[in-house]
Amino acid sequence: MALKPLEIYKLLPKKNCKECGEQTCLSFAMKLAQGKADPASCPYLDSEAKAALSSQTGAPIAKITIGMGSRMITIGEETVFYRHDKTFYHEPAIIYRVVDTAPAEEITALAARIREEKITRIGIDLQVNGLAVDLGSGSLKQSVTAVTTANEGGDIPLVLQSEDPEILKACLAVCGNYNPLICAATEHNYRELCDLAKKYDAPLVVRAPDVEKIGALSKECMGLGIKKIVLDITGADSGEYLSRATLVRSLALTRTAPELGFPILLDCSGSVPDNIVTGIVKFASVLITPQLPVAEMTTALVLRQNIYTDPQKPIQMTPGLYRIGDPGPDSPVFMTVNFSLTFFTLQGYLEAARVPCFLLIVETEGMSVLTSVAAGKLNESVVAEWITKTSLADEVNEKKLIIPGYASPLSGRIEDATGWKVVVGPRDAADIGRFLTEEWK
């Protein structure tokens, strides 16, 4: 079990010196307990306390970055087994693989695709994260050429896939300063690769046939001073991966095997779409895959966004006036909250109803209708505020607002506060179609 703030507090100097950046020792203790502070920030810790705190606080899974600049990937730093226990923090990186024998134009095109292609959902751009170069040609020259091409621009995070120290050395000479992921150290090459990783301060993948051997190798690398490790636990198939990932995550979180306290890599080549799904929902931090058709890419990005949503912080829509179809001055106006799920559900049914309309989204801090009514976040003044902000009155001829069924207790107050006539709509968005045909006039 992780230490509680008070247990940590007892180990601290209790000087309230503020030198760690916190106002009090107790608030520093709280940050430590959450893995959001480093014991080293306290200048007055005695060595015994420092040792005790270092092994028991901080994220049980190391935080690692790949690449540099705006597209830099951050992985690791996870603290829970189930997303419902708190949240998963860093989305797995999806990395497209290209072989070093591919023509330069193909590599450039793929890098461009990674750079430019995106889908936008709920105001967030979703993108594939990086490029893995499979340095399997056996030709040093070809490998270096391919990596040079891939690294043009220096913005796309790279994974260098080879177990040959010479090839890696040559390629790192090209891109080593851009923080690429070196993939991978095995029991045969790890000493040379550790030297390379240290030289460039780059993260290093360790790879071995089973979890025991991966752990042993990771320990060896740690012994050689390597701190940025990624564990390649790809198995024969998604089932084997799942068992391995569960084991590694559990042992890492309980801090029983510090050598496993690193992000996980899954090579999805075996059965691409299913491995990607398995990796996303179960603990992978780096997913390497051949480039995906748009449909599969969309699925992977959306699933990743879903799973890495903070369960305690619902996704919020930007409040404002949305249009379904091409509404005119006589179209109905619906109002609801800015909880994304409410918005999407309602939007879906409104679109299906094929009646052009306005949808006014008001700010309720992402709470659903029921919750926001109960918590007072949805109230007459917020509705009035957004009617004004969106100049809704200029859009329609008749000041008539359809509110969610569960917001019916507010109808009178909204009428008084806004001067709009309020019509109470259905409680369930599924009834919108019927409501529009039968009750809306």
Partner 1 sequence: MNYILPHTWSGSIQTVTIGATKQEGGTRSVSYEIGGDTDLPFMNRSGKKPLLAYEICDDTAIWPQVVRDAMPKGISDPASWAAYGEKTLKPDCIRLNLTSTRKPNSSDFASISATVQSVLAATTLPLIIEGSADPAVDSEVYIRCGEAGQGERLVLGTAEADRYRSVAAAAMAYDHIIIAQTPIDVNLAKQLNILLRETGIPDNRIIIDPYTGALGYGFEYTYSTMERIRFAALKGDDDLAMPMISAPADSLTVKEIRESDSPSEIAVSWERATAVASAIAGAAILVVRHPGTVLPLRTAIDALWEGSRREVSDGA
Partner 2 sequence: MIQELSNTKGEMMTEIPSAIIRGREKISGTISALTGDLAFPETAYHLPITYAVTGREVHTADAARTAYEDSDKNMLIGAEIVVAEQEREISEATGYTGFIEDALIRKLGYSLVDGSILGLCLILGTPPSADTAAAICRELQEKLMLTFLCGPVITVLTDSGVKVDLSLRLIPLGATSIKGVHFADILARVAMMFGGVPPGDVSRLITYAAERAKAFVIVFPSLSDEEIAFVDALRILNIPIIQVGGYEGGEWLLSDPQTAVSKGMELRGITVRVTAIPIPMACSPAFEGKSIRKEEMFVEFGGGRSPAFELLVTRPHGEVTDGKVTLIGPDVDQIPEGSAVPLGIIIEVAGKQMKSDYEPVLERRIHNFINYGEGSWHVAQRDLIWVRITKEAVANNLKITDLGKLLAARFRMDFESLLDAVQVTLITDKDAVTRALADAEAIYQKRDERIAGLKDEDVSLYYSCILCQTFAPNHVCIITPERPALCGAITWLDGRTAYEISPSGANQPVEKGTLLNAVSGEYEGVNRFVRKASHGEIQRCVLYSIMDAPMTCCGCFEAIAMILPETNGVMVVTREFRGDTPFGMTFSTLAGTIGGGAQTPGFIGISKSYLTSDRFLQAEGGIQRVVWMPAHLKEEIRVKMGESFHEKGFDTLFSIIADETDAVTLDELLTYLESVSHPALSMPSLI
Give the interface with partner 1 as residue ranges (CB under 8 A). Answer: 82-84, 121, 186-188, 207-209, 211-212, 215-216, 236-240, 242-243, 246-247, 250-251, 254, 256-257, 260, 270-271, 273-274, 277-278, 280-282, 293, 295-296, 298-300, 302-303, 305-307, 309, 311, 341, 344-345, 347-348, 351-352
By C-beta, is 122 or 321 nearer to partner 1?
122
Sequence letter at residue 358: F
- C-alpha dist (Å) from residue 410 to 26, 89, 96, 440: 43, 37, 52, 20
What are the φ and ψ backbone dihedral angles of 400, each rounded to 5 degrees?
-140, 125
Alpha-carbon span 42 to 17, nearest angstrom: 9
Q: Cβ distance 353 to 433 under 8 Å? A: yes
* Separation of first and last alpha carbons in the chain: 61
Number of residues that bind partner 2 (CB under 8 A): 32
Q: How far apart are CA 336 and CA 190, in angstroms?
A: 58
Shortest Å distance, C-beta 65 to partner 2 = 25
User: x-or-dash pattern for partner 2, window 27-46, by CB under 8 A?
Assistant: x--x---x------------
Min separation Cβ 289 and partner 1, Å? 14
Binding region for partner 2 (CB under 8 A) out of 50-58, 117-125, 258-266, 406-414 = 406-414
Pick from 85, 152, 201, 237: which binds partner 2 (CB under 8 A)?
85
Strands, E assignment, 145-224: 158-161, 181-185, 204-207
Q: Which is nearer to partner 1, 156 or 265 (CB)?
A: 265
Query: Is there binding between residue 9 and partner 2 (CB under 8 A)?
Result: yes
- Buried-state track 83-100, b at ≥16 Cβ within 10 A, e below 16: beeebbbbbbbbbbbbbb
For residues 160 and 124, is the Cβ–Cβ distance under 8 A?
Answer: no
Identify the three-state secondary structure at position 160: strand
Cα separation, 402 vs 102, in Å, equals: 58
Evaluate whether 403 touches 384 at the Cβ level (below 8 Å).
no
The gap from C-alpha 337 to its chain's centroid, in whole angstroms, comes to 24
Return the number of the residue (202 or 297) whose C-beta is nearest partner 1. 297
Using the rule CB under 8 A, which residue among 3, 26, 355, 370 binds partner 2? 26
Please spell the DSSP secondary structure of 309-342, one letter per residue: S-TTS--BPPPEEEEESS--TTS-EEEEE-BHHH
Residue type, 309: T
Place of tokens 């806004």: 418
Between residues 74 and 305, which has the closer beta carbon with respect to partner 1?
A: 305
**CB 263 to partner 2: min, Å:** 24
According to CB under 8 A, which one of 49, 413, 431, 440 is a site residue for partner 2? 413
Least CB distance to partner 1 at residue 390 (A): 23
Pick one of partner 1, partner 2, none as the site partner of residue 22 (Cβ within 5 to 8 A by kind).
Answer: partner 2
Residue 431 sits in the site that holds partner 2 (CB under 8 A): no
CB of 122 to partner 2, least distance (A): 19
Choose between 192 and 380: whose C-beta lies nearer to partner 1. Answer: 192
Q: Return the number of the residue (20 or 197) whose C-beta is nearest partner 2.
A: 20
Which partner, partner 2, partner 1, none, binds residue 16 by CB below 5 to 8 Å per kind? Answer: partner 2
The closest alpha carbon to 318, from 404, 389, 392, 417, belongs to 389
Interaction between residue 377 and partner 2 (CB under 8 A): no
Best CA proximity match to 92, nearest among 259, 257, 251, 241: 241
By CB under 8 A, tell whether 309 contacts partner 2.
Answer: no
CA distance 317 to 397: 27
Closest CB to partner 2 among residues 3, 303? 3
Asked if residue 416 binds partner 2 (CB under 8 A), the reply is yes
Q: Does 399 bind partner 2 (CB under 8 A)?
A: no
| Nearest distance in Å: CB 424, partner 2 | 4
Task: Report the partner that residue 415 touches, choosing among partner 1, partner 2, none (CB closer than 5 to 8 A by kind).
Answer: partner 2
**Site residues, partner 2 (CB under 8 A):** 4-6, 9-10, 14, 16, 22-24, 26-27, 30, 34, 84-86, 311-312, 405, 407-416, 422, 424
